[in-house]
Amino acid sequence: MSIDIAWAREQFARFLQLTELYRPPDPPGTTILSSGRANRGPQDEIIASAQVVEQILDRVLPRWRTEVPSERNKRVNRWCQHREAVQRADVVLVRDAEIKEHLGDDAPQISAATMHPWVWDGARSLWQSGHFREAVTAAAKKVNAETQNKVGRRDVSETNLFKSVFSQDPPKPGQPRLRLMANDGSDTFRSLHRGAMSFAEGCYAGIRNPSSHEDGLARAAGTPGAGAVGGLQRPGPLGGLGHGGDVSQGIAREQRQARCRPRRQRACCVLVRL
């Protein structure tokens, strides 16, 4: 979902107006020798505005809390960092397209807004604080846990879990399957599920496991990692979980096969609808 630039800029302007510093006038008949300045708006309105502004900043400048200097918050005013971040973000909203055009190489970028909630919810707080390796690991763990919840299994995890759920074999007692399309016996069906299984194995072997055992990770390296884990949530040739295609035919076929099994086994042999 794209940002409503006009609305976001209105919120920025309101916040800057409320937090503007000025020297309050002296009471009538008195003169106060002080360099102290105060915000123009009342604190309750500033706090309410900051709640909205911070969420916009998290989208426009995800690392503003660590990249925008905060020293003046104690020396001058508690909202100095917010004000500078808002001013920077406002320029991004207005001139981002122009800057990209003149600097060239307007390459595609991964946006957190396009990631599946399982991925971004698991990584958000760590990513925003600059802990990129930990964020990728948290996203991978979140996807694993939610997949376990979806298929009702705790006995396997990560690579072995995805190998099982994307197996082309019919479901077995205690081993549900995930299907990206109806099992029509085609090469496409086999390719989709083989690819999803291999992709999941690559994510956990090449991204999640190294992230758990090595120190530090640059933002540039972490972004593709989080995006790759997010790919497990998307439909398509390399998609795993997510909203896949119509699986009604495949489910019906599995149900017909299940009716031939003993009643005790049929309860455990299910296809999980994506």
Averaged pLDDT, 148-175: 92
Q: Answer yes or no: do 256 and 127 share one domain.
A: yes
Q: Answer yes or no: do 256 and 228 share one domain.
A: yes
Residues in the chain: 274
Q: How far apart are CA 118 and CA 19, in angstroms?
A: 36
Q: Answer yes or no: do 176 and 94 share one domain.
A: no
User: pLDDT digit string (tens) for 187-208?
Assistant: 999 999 999 999 888 888 877 6
224 found inside a domain: yes
Query: Domain containing 264: what range?
Result: 114-272
Averaged pLDDT, 252-273: 40
User: Across all residues in the chain, what is the average pLDDT?
Assistant: 77
On whether the CB atoms of residues 240 and 232 are closer than 8 A, the answer is yes
Q: Answer yes or no: do 89 and 177 share one domain.
A: no
> Looking at the predicted structure, is the pLDDT value of residue 252 above 70?
no
Other residues' Cβ atoms within 10 Å of the Cβ of residue 96: 12
Q: What is the pLDDT of residue 90?
A: 97
204 half-sphere exposure, CB direction, 13 A CA radius: 18
What stretches of 69-200 adopt beta strand conformation (E)? Answer: 177-178
**Would the CA dihedral through 157, 161, 163, 169 be positive or negative?**
positive
User: pLDDT digit string (tens) for 57-101?
Assistant: 999 999 999 999 999 999 999 999 999 999 999 999 999 888 877
Q: Answer yes or no: do 119 and 212 share one domain.
A: yes
Cα-based distances in Å from 239 to 84, 145, 162, 228: 40, 17, 12, 10
On whether the CB atoms of residues 264 and 196 are closer than 8 A, the answer is no
On whether the CB atoms of residues 142 and 119 are closer than 8 A, the answer is yes
Confidence of residue 13 (pLDDT cuts 50, 70, 90): very high
Q: What is the pLDDT of residue 34?
A: 57
Q: How far apart are CA 116 and CA 227, in angstroms?
A: 10
Q: What is the pLDDT of residue 137?
A: 87
Which residues are paired to 177 by β-bridges?
A: 271
> Looking at the predicted structure, is the pLDDT value of residue 49 above 90?
yes
251 found inside a domain: yes
Say how many domains are in the chain: 2
CA 197 to chain centre: 22
108 found inside a domain: no
> Looking at the predicted structure, is the pLDDT value of residue 171 above 70?
yes
More confident position, 109 or 52: 52
> Looking at the predicted structure, is the pLDDT value of residue 247 above 60?
no
Q: Tokens 């099982």 map to which residue?
A: 164
Of the chain, the percentage scoring pLDDT greater than 90 comes to 42
